[in-house]
RNA sequence: CGGGACGUAGCUCAGCCCGGUAGAGCACUUGGUUUGGGACCAAGACGUCGCAGGUUCGAAUCCUGUCGUCCCGACCA
């Protein structure tokens, strides 16, 4: 391919609406252009890199026993009604109506479609297990699309769904996908690692997310340097707060004392009250699936909403409004407590940290007053004790006992053991060997293909631009001719190299533009081709061309050795990326 | 959906406070000189100042509404 005949609109300046480096480089390197918020056109270089990632995914999915299919993006809304997600996923569903006013859904994911297929087609244990996958555009009505391809309204996803006859079988399918994902990301040159993940409203019992460490990620990952534990913060647990909870009772009954104007933990911790945060009980009021509930945490802890939803089995949870709180408890936020004036119908969820807490201070449910000498278990009617707190840096790892760390990361993949939720609702059953009819046991496995592309850029960039891993580069080699006169030695040599390298299976882009060398060098580094070959008169008088790896030093090789050297370089880097995949 | 910022040439931005003929750099076109790290000179083309309404003799500038974009938060099967 020739640069002049492709379309690679590079930008010298950073577009003002791109905040993070990978988004800026997507635009500057001419990989994509924005149509509208969260909607992007892929230009040739972006599309080629995307296709490379797709190809790696297909190879590894096929190798792991995946069966490629292609499902409709436009789906009848009634299967969404059947699964129950017409309501629970309503926020992200794009809905459209046809001429007869019938409603359709633009698929944000395909559990409903594939399970409908399985219900019709998989009827015997002899047909199981099966693992169907596709690479397809998904649509999600994101509240806030951002960071280019990272969170878009329309994006490319590889989704796979396994159907097994037993739980053990499902576990084996899950394991195969887990291993395949490890290989896929390694082959893409990405440093991705699996972490335990929250299972959300699907419930289920086993889930890992594949995370790429990046400051610009939208997830917090709790991990132990021993390598024995890593989890999304929504799911993470520890051996508890590093600060002990008071556990000695004063023996006295709760006592009300005036605290005019005190509405925060910090204010009560300050003079003249001097009640340390860990001696306080924080009372939060939430509306969980339309029911008002109280949530109790130690004063210095933060609620983990994902845990709240997981432990209560809730579909929706939100903080109550001030009006709802006053109507039920008679006091305003800042003076709330669960000791008295809590209607019997209101559930009280307390963090386990408080189970043995004694001598605590909490709100009196009366503006301007708090209670002291509160022994949580003695004085509060707790409906359910649960782990509801968010893990903090430095708490001890449940596995190794070492201090935990937290870092930001980008989620590029998710493997999920679904169980029988969808198979039961959508009727995917089979006849077992003993003649009984049973629901298939499912798993689902997603990779954000477009997000993976951007994650590679987020991880592989420097001040000059992108440096693609050889496996996902739009072209493996940029052949930079420094003088494009058609009859001149540089162009003649370059044409010959282009033909021979292409014949040898190397992906070459010949930069035949009528531009000064500096422009071509800068552009090739910005777009990020892993190897540049400079062909100029200066080298040719010595019978040489220059090999300049994007992240290495320049090397001079004889023209007659160039093809062999270039092939060896490209294949060497590919082999190194593929070697990592063995795990 | 709450909070904030911003919409002026293809891109980056100035002008707006303090109303009075639309600006710069880059990119683009033509000619010339250059030619191993984002060249130089000259000439040229490119704008309903996001849109609508209002105030005013006069609005890019002030006011109101609206649409869009970005950031923070909320949300994220």
> What's the Å distance between residue A555 CA and nucleotide B11 C1'?
36
Q: Is residue A156 located within the same domain as residue A259?
A: no
CATH code of the domain containing A430:
3.30.930.10
Task: Say whether the CB atom of A548 is under 7 angstroms from strand B.
Answer: yes
In a domain, A408, yes or no: no
B70: residue with closest CA to C1': A17
Q: Which of A386, A405, A432 is the last residue of a domain?
A: A386
Among chain A residues 459-518, those with CB within 7 Å of any atom of strand B? 464, 482-483, 516-518
> What's the Å distance between residue A11 CA and nucleotide B52 C1'?
34
CB A85 within 8 A of CB A112: yes
In a domain, A543, yes or no: yes
H runs (alpha helix) in A443-558: 449-459, 489-503, 517-527, 537-540
CB A382 within 8 A of CB A281: no
In a domain, A564, yes or no: yes
> What's the Å distance between residue A151 CA and nucleotide B10 C1'?
26
Query: For each of chain A's 583 residues, which pLDDT tens digit applies?
Result: 999 999 999 999 999 889 899 999 999 999 999 988 899 999 999 999 999 999 999 999 999 999 999 999 999 999 999 998 998 888 889 999 999 999 999 999 999 999 999 999 999 999 999 999 999 999 999 888 889 999 999 999 999 999 999 999 999 999 999 999 999 999 999 999 999 998 765 656 689 999 999 999 999 999 999 999 999 999 999 999 989 999 998 889 999 999 998 888 888 998 899 999 999 999 998 888 888 899 999 999 999 988 888 888 787 788 888 788 888 888 888 888 999 888 888 999 999 999 999 999 999 988 899 999 999 999 999 999 999 999 999 999 999 999 999 999 999 999 999 999 899 999 999 999 999 999 999 999 999 999 999 999 999 999 999 999 999 999 999 999 999 999 999 999 999 999 999 999 999 999 999 999 999 999 999 999 999 999 999 999 999 999 999 999 999 999 999 999 999 999 999 999 998 544 4
Q: Is residue A171 located within the same domain as residue A281?
A: no
Q: Is residue A362 located within the same domain as residue A265?
A: yes
Task: Say whether the CB atom of A289 is under 7 angstroms from strand B.
Answer: no
Q: Is residue A29 located within the same domain as residue A168?
A: yes
Among chain A residues 315-334, those with CB within 7 Å of any atom of strand B? 317-318
In a domain, A39, yes or no: yes
In a domain, A286, yes or no: yes
Q: Is residue A178 located within the same domain as residue A270?
A: no
Task: Say whether the CB atom of A138 is under 7 angstroms from strand B.
Answer: yes
Whole-complex ipTM: 0.94
In a domain, A464, yes or no: no
Q: Which nucleotides of B are covered by protein (CB under 7 A)?
A: 1, 11-13, 25-27, 34-39, 68-77
CATH code of the domain containing A560:
3.40.50.800
Residue A127 lies in domain: 15-193+418-458
Task: Say whether the CB atom of A411 is under 7 angstroms from strand B.
Answer: no
Q: Is residue A483 located within the same domain as residue A574?
A: yes
Q: Is residue A422 located within the same domain as residue A370?
A: no
Residue written as token pair 């009196």: A364
Task: Say whether the CB atom of A375 is under 7 angstroms from strand B.
Answer: no
Q: Which of A458, A489, A520 is the last residue of a domain?
A: A458
Task: Say whether the CB atom of A523 is under 7 angstroms from strand B.
Answer: yes
B69: residue with closest CA to C1': A17
In a domain, A274, yes or no: yes
Number of domains in chain A: 3
């Amino acid at each position: 391919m020739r640069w002049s005949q492709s379309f690679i609109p590079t930008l010298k300046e950073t577009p003002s609406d791109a905040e993070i480096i990978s988004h800026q480089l997507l635009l500057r390197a001419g990989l994509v252009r924005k149509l509208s918020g969260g909607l992007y056109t892929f230009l040739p270089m972006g599309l080629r890199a995307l296709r490379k990632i797709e190809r790696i995914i297909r190879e590894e999915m096929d190798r792991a026993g995946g069966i490629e299919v292609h499902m409709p993006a436009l789906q009848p809304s009634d299967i969404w009604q059947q699964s129950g997600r017409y309501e629970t996923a309503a926020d992200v569903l794009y809905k459209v109506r046809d001429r007869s006013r019938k409603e359709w859904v633009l698929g944000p994911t395909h559990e409903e479609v594939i399970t409908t297929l399985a219900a019709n087609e998989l009827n015997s244990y002899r047909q199981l297990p099966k693992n169907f996958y596709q690479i397809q555009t998904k649509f999600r009505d994101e509240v806030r699309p951002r960071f280019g391809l990272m969170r878009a309204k329309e994006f490319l996803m590889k989704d796979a769904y396994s159907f097994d006859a037993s739980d053990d079988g499902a576990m084996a399918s899950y394991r195969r996908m887990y291993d395949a994902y490890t290989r896929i990301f390694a082959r893409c040159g990405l440093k991705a690692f699996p972490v335990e993940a929250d299972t959300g409203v699907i419930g289920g019992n086993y889930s890992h997310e594949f995370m790429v460490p990046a400051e610009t990620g939208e997830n917090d990952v709790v991990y132990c340097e021993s390598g024995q534990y890593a989890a999304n913060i929504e799911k993470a647990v520890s051996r508890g707060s590093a600060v002990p909870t008071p556990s000695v009772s004063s023996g006295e009954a709760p006592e009300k004392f005036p605290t005019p104007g005190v509405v925060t933990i910090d204010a009560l911790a300050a003079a003249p009250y001097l009640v340390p945060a860990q001696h306080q009980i924080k009372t939060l009021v939430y509306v969980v699936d339309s029911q008002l509930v109280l949530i109790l945490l130690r004063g210095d802890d933060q609620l983990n909403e994902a845990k709240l939803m997981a432990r209560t089995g809730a579909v929706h949870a939100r903080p109550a409004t001030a009006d709802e709180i006053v109507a039920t408890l008679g006091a305003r936020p800042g003076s709330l407590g669960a000791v008295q004036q809590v209607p019997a119908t209101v559930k009280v969820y307390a963090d386990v940290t408080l189970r043995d807490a004694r001598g605590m201070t909490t709100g009196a449910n009366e503006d301007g007053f708090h209670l002291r000498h509160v022994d949580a278990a003695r004085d509060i009617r707790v409906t359910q004790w649960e782990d509801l707190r968010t893990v903090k840096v430095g708490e001890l790892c449940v596995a190794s006992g070492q201090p935990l760390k937290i870092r930001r990361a980008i989620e590029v993949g998710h493997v999920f053991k679904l169980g029988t939720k969808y198979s039961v609702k959508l009727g995917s059953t089979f006849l077992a060997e003993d003649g009984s009819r049973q629901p298939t046991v499912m798993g689902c496995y997603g990779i954000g293909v477009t997000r993976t592309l951007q994650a590679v850029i987020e991880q592989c960039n420097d001040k000059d631009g992108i440096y693609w891993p050889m496996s996902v580069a739009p072209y493996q080699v940029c052949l930079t001719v420094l003088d494009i006169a058609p009859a001149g030695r540089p162009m003649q040599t370059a044409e010959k190299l282009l033909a021979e390298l292409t014949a040898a299976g190397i992906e070459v882009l010949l930069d035949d533009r009528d531009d000064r060398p500096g422009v071509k060098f800068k552009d090739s580094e910005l777009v990020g081709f892993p190897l540049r070959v400079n062909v100029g008169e200066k080298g040719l008088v010595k019978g040489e061309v220059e090999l300049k790896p994007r992240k290495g030093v320049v090397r001079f090789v004889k023209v007659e050795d160039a093809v062999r050297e270039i092939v060896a370089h490209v294949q060497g880097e590919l082999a190194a990326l593929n070697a990592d995949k063995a795990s």
